């Protein structure tokens, strides 16, 4: 819990107790519909990479988003429609020279964009990320290959896409952060607090720096230290789930920094529930997805 005497001190970490997490959940209004809880556009999954798109989209739904649309390569359509029939599906043919012609309309439709999970770093993926960031006016979560491609952009190009200061959330692990900044993982591990503060101040973004104890930072905001989660979550796809959770919270009108903090907490609680069910060796990203249900139900019952 934040001590009122410390909540303006940027050099002091804060964390949340279980009761704090529940209190921060978006309200579910009795007289509401799917439009009340926001529309998430998940831009994910290059050819044959269905898993990341599925995990992030389902995580957004389970966290409370009202409507999720997946924008993915055409070859992923059939599998994703079977895995997650609740999602709206829009696809592109990466072999088509004008393959992203539907993108402007999709970006206007969305309340929040979740970009990069399983996208790959090929030519068509790079074009997709450039066009998305060049046109998008909505809050956005960037993860995985979205970050890897962003690392190759010039500083001038990065300035062009920061349309809404503080409304982009980046969710890198240590290696992705090293690529983004040109510093080594060892440098980041040695002085991650100071380096992260400089990064968010310069880029004017919110950043959830994933590690065994994830930090969340935003410009002129106190830094958050997460205490939920466990080593069983160190599996492929875990980050895709976090990106989806965070986007789902933003779709419910949570500001970026608050959504990043709560998203990291919920992701960890879901991982704790998955470990309880599966043990510390056998947790998969799909188990963390199921853990979202258990974590949110537990929060409801104890609120």
Separation of alpha carbons 303 and 49, rounded Å: 39
Mind giving me the DSSP string for 128-163? HHHHHHHH--S-EEE-THHHHHHTTS-HHHHHHH--
Radius of gyration (Cα) for the chain, nearest Å?
18
Name the DSSP class of 110.
-
| Phi-psi domain of 70 (left: phi exceeds 0; alpha: psi -120 through 50; beta: other) | beta
- b/e map 108-140, b = 16+ CB within 10 Å: eebbbbbbbbbbbeeebbbebbbebbeebebbb
Going from the N-terminus, what domains does the chain have, and what CATH number goes with each? 31-215+233-256 (3.40.1190.20)
Q: How far apart are CA 217 and CA 198, in angstroms?
A: 10
CB 265 within 8 A of CB 25: no
Residue 14 β-bridge partners: 224
* Nearest alpha carbon to residue 291 among 20, 275, 28: 275
Six-digit token string for 256: 């970026």
Q: Which pLDDT belongs to residue 200?
A: 95
Each residue's pLDDT expressed in tens, for the chain with a length of 303 residues: 445 544 556 668 999 999 899 999 999 999 999 999 999 999 999 998 999 999 999 999 999 999 999 999 999 999 999 999 999 999 999 999 899 999 999 999 999 999 999 999 999 999 999 999 999 999 999 999 999 999 999 888 877 776 666 799 999 999 999 999 999 999 999 999 999 999 999 999 999 999 999 999 999 999 999 999 999 999 999 999 999 999 999 999 999 999 999 999 999 999 999 999 999 999 999 999 999 999 999 999 987
In angstroms, the CA 97 to CA 54 distance is 26
Question: Backbone dihedral region of 2: left (phi > 0), alpha (psi from -120 to 50 degrees) or beta?
Answer: beta
In angstroms, rounded to a whole number, what is the distance separating the alpha carbons of residues 203 and 147?
Answer: 13
- Output the pTM of the full model: 0.95
Cα separation of 45 and 47, whole Å?
A: 7
What's the pLDDT at 1?
A: 47
């Amino acid at each position: 819990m934040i001590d009122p005497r410390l909540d303006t001190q940027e050099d002091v970490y804060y964390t949340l107790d279980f009761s704090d997490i529940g209190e921060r959940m978006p309200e579910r209004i009795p007289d509401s519909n799917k439009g009340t809880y926001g529309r998430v556009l998940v831009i994910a999954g290059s050819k044959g990479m269905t898993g990341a798109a599925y995990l992030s989209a389902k995580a957004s739904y389970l966290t409370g988003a009202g409507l999720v649309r997946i924008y993915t390569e055409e070859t992923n359509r059939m599998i994703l429609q079977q895995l997650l029939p609740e999602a709206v599906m829009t696809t592109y043919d990466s072999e088509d020279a004008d393959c992203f012609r539907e993108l402007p309309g999709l970006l206007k439709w969305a309340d929040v964009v979740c970009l990069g999970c399983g996208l790959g770093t090929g030519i068509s993926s790079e074009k997709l990320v450039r066009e998305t960031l060049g046109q998008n006016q909505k809050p956005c979560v960037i993860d995985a290959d979205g970050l890897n491609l962003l690392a190759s952009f010039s500083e001038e190009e990065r300035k062009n896409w920061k349309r809404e200061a503080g409304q982009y959330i980046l969710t890198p692990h240590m290696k992705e952060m090293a690529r983004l900044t040109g510093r080594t993982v060892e440098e980041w591990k040695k002085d991650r607090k100071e380096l992260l503060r400089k990064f968010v101040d310069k880029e004017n973004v919110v950043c959830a720096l994933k590690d065994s104890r994830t930090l969340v930072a935003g410009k002129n905001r106190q830094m958050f230290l997460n205490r939920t989660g466990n080593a069983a979550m160190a599996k492929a796809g875990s980050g895709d789930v976090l990106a989806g959770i965070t986007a789902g919270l933003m779709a419910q009108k949570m500001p970026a920094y608050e959504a990043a903090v709560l998203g990291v907490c919920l992701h960890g609680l879901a991982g704790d529930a998955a470990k309880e069910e599966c043990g510390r060796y056998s947790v998969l990203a799909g188990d963390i997805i199921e853990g979202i249900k258990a974590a949110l139900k537990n929060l409801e019952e104890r609120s």
